[in-house]
């Protein structure tokens, strides 16, 4: 069902273990009859099911799908494993922003678990105007719609397939027009509608390293508040600074750029291709320190070469690096035993920075490795800065695989999303009617106690004080009633069994904190009061 023959070959070899490329796995986990009851049922019938019935094995496959049995999750996992399905990875798209729902579970002393959502975001449609990844893959719904209108089949072996009818996905369906960028992207990566843009996962060893390094550096960095200062610079690799060079852009999903005299940012998930802006990098004290870990020379000796790459911000860059150098002299960092191994892992990823350009009337694509293992190129310093931003979640890495080639790009730096947690997600101390019952019991006990006190004053406190120890039992049973008292006791028991929690926004993240008094989880007098009420359950139920 791939758009091109080369794309089909990639599916059979590169995507062999990716469950997202198999239509059968979706059908297996969908309700019976889903293909015939879907809103796309007519398009699915015309473009997929009807052609399958004319193929030797197609009819057998359709019968097997119709008579399938819904399996349990363990059985489904076994089925996937038996067929070498190891992961599920979609192509990246920016037509929709996926919904997010993260939660934590809090278990109390009684074993009851309460789920609390810490952040949530609904599925968001950005709109067709912002859908830049449409040129990489137009989506299954557009495949169905186009073939239904053109009378073709999505099955490549069918007699009325797109190739058999001479239909071209790029020119007849997508129709992107013409520009130098469109020509260059298809020459270097491959034809549109058949490009795979996949999210690249951070290697586990690298992730463990950055976590360990941050833990080691955190106590020292907290004393250097100036390390949080952001300095924006505009470096350009030396190989791209020849006279007469103009730049169309660096985002292969935005191939409509006009020639500019400045280098432009790389691919961005939120880039709607509306403007062409200058490529910049933000330097912080922490990112600069991380970059110096991998340098063969000291930071002070590398400052002239590193900052010379900046076109308009050389003085600013120099001041920022000198400030970090002066502040970091007391920081001891020794990672020489792991840098060589991790550097090899970086090189295996082959992350690049590309730019579509024109010089002397000739259009071409410039590429620059993010990391130079020989450290001879000062651009490598900025490459490590961008790598650090990737490791802490400010950037992402995507691979663009097409029929003609492949390129792995570091994305633009993206601002963080702010998603405020709803305080109402926290469990309440008691529901409304339980609260009213507790207040009623307290009111009755206090009222009767006040009457007893008034009587004691009237008789000059001439009574046996030992009888006061029976006050709770007698008044509770006579004036309140045992079922209500039992509810109050159980409320106190549940209250003691769990810690009070509240959501607090820190400088880095949202945290769920437990409220603590000077004597641990609760103030001592409150714990004693609730314990007394709980223990009274023993004689109320007697």
Secondary structure of 262-313 in the HEC alphabet?
A: CCCCCCCCCCCCCCCCCCCEEECHHHHHHHHCCCCCCHHHHHHHHHHCECCC
pLDDT at 513 over 60: no
What Rg value do the Cα atoms of the chain yield, rounded?
A: 33
Residue 363: phi and psi, rounded to 5, are -90, 140
Q: What is the pLDDT of residue 155?
A: 94
Region 161-188: what's the mean pLDDT?
94
pLDDT at 264 over 80: yes
Cα distances from 261 to residues 4, 246, 366, 476, in angstroms, run 36, 5, 14, 86
pLDDT at 523 over 60: no
Region 189-211: what's the mean pLDDT?
92
pLDDT at 9 over 80: yes
CA–CA gap between residue 542 and residue 537 (Å, rounded):
8
CB contact at 8 A, 133 and 253: yes
CB contact at 8 A, 49 and 36: no
201 vs 421, which has greater pLDDT? 201
Over the chain, what is the mean pLDDT?
83
Q: What is the pLDDT of residue 445?
A: 83
Region 125-151: what's the mean pLDDT?
92
Location of structure tokens 């694509």: 365
Distance of CA 493 to the CA centre of its chain: 39
Q: What is the pLDDT of residue 434?
A: 67
493 vs 293, which has greater pLDDT? 293
Q: What is the pTM assigned to this prediction?
A: 0.78
Torsion sign over Cα 522, 526, 531, 534: negative
Number of alpha carbons in the 13 Å side-chain half-sphere of residue 54: 14
CA–CA gap between residue 375 and residue 381 (Å, rounded):
8
Region 310-317: what's the mean pLDDT?
93
Region 482-489: what's the mean pLDDT?
73
Within 21-177, where are the H helices? 23-28, 34-37, 41-44, 50-53, 58-66, 73-82, 140-150
CA–CA gap between residue 69 and residue 58 (Å, rounded):
19
pLDDT per residue as tens digits for the range 62-100 = 888 888 887 888 988 998 999 999 999 999 999 998 888
Distance of CA 231 to the CA centre of its chain: 26
pLDDT band at 109; cut points 50, 70, 90: low
pLDDT band at 515; cut points 50, 70, 90: very low
CB contact at 8 A, 135 and 147: no
CA–CA gap between residue 482 and residue 539 (Å, rounded):
10
């Amino acid at each position: 069902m791939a758009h091109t023959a080369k794309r089909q070959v990639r599916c059979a070899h590169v995507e062999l273990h990716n469950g997202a490329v198999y239509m059968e796995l979706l059908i297996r986990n969908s309700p019976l009859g889903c293909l015939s009851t879907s809103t796309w049922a007519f398009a699915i019938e015309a473009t997929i099911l009807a052609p399958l019935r004319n193929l030797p094995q197609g009819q057998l496959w359709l019968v097997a799908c119709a008579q399938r049995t819904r399996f349990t999750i363990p059985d489904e996992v076994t089925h996937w494993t038996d067929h070498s399905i190891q992961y599920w990875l979609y192509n990246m798209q920016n037509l929709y922003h996926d919904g997010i729902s993260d939660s934590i579970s809090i278990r109390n002393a009684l074993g009851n678990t309460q789920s609390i959502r810490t952040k949530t975001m609904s599925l968001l449609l950005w709109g067709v105007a912002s859908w830049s990844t449409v040129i990489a893959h137009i989506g299954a719904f557009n495949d169905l719609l186009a073939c239904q209108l053109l009378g073709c089949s999505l099955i490549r072996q069918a007699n009325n397939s797109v190739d058999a009818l001479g239909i071209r996905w790029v020119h007849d369906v997508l129709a992107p027009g013409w520009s130098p960028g469109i020509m260059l992207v298809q020459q270097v990566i491959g034809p549109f509608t058949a490009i795979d843009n996949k999210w690249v996962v951070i290697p586990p060893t690298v992730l463990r390293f950055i976590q360990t390094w941050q833990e080691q550096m955190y106590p020292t960095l907290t004393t250097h508040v100036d390390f949080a200062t952001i300095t924006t610079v505009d470096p350009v690799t030396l190989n791209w600074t020849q006279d007469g060079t103009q730049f169309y852009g660096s985002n292969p999903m935005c191939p409509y750029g006009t020639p500019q005299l400045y280098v432009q940012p790389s691919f961005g998930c939120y880039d709607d291709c509306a403007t062409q802006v200058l490529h910049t990098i933000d330097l912080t004290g922490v990112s600069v320190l991380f970059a110096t870990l991998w340098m063969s020379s000291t930071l002070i000796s590398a400052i002239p070469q590193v900052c010379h790459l900046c076109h308009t911000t050389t003085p600013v860059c120099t001041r920022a690096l000198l400030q970090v150098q002066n502040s970091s002299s007391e920081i001891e960092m020794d990672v020489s035993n792991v840098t060589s191994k991790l550097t090899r892992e970086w090189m295996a990823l082959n992350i690049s920075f590309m730019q579509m350009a024109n010089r002397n009337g000739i259009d071409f694509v410039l590429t620059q490795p993010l990391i130079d293992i020989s450290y001879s190129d000062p651009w490598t310093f900025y490459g490590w800065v961008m790598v650090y931003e990737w490791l802490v979640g400010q950037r992402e890495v995507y691979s663009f695989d097409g029929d003609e080639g492949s390129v792995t790009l570091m994305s633009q730096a993206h601002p963080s999303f702010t998603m405020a947690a709803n305080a109402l997600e926290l469990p309440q101390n008691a529901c409304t009617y339980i609260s009213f019952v507790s207040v009623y019991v307290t009111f009755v006990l206090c009222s009767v106690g006040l009457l007893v006190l008034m009587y004691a004053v009237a008789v000059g406190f001439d009574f046996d004080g030992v009888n006061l120890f029976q006050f709770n039992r007698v008044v509770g049973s006579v004036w309140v009633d045992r079922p209500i008292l039992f509810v109050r006791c159980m409320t106190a028991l549940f209250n003691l069994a769990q810690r009070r929690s509240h959501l607090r926004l820190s400088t880095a993240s949202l945290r769920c904190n437990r409220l603590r008094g000077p004597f641990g989880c609760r103030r001592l007098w409150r714990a004693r009061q609730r314990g007394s009420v709980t223990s009274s359950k023993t004689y109320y139920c007697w």
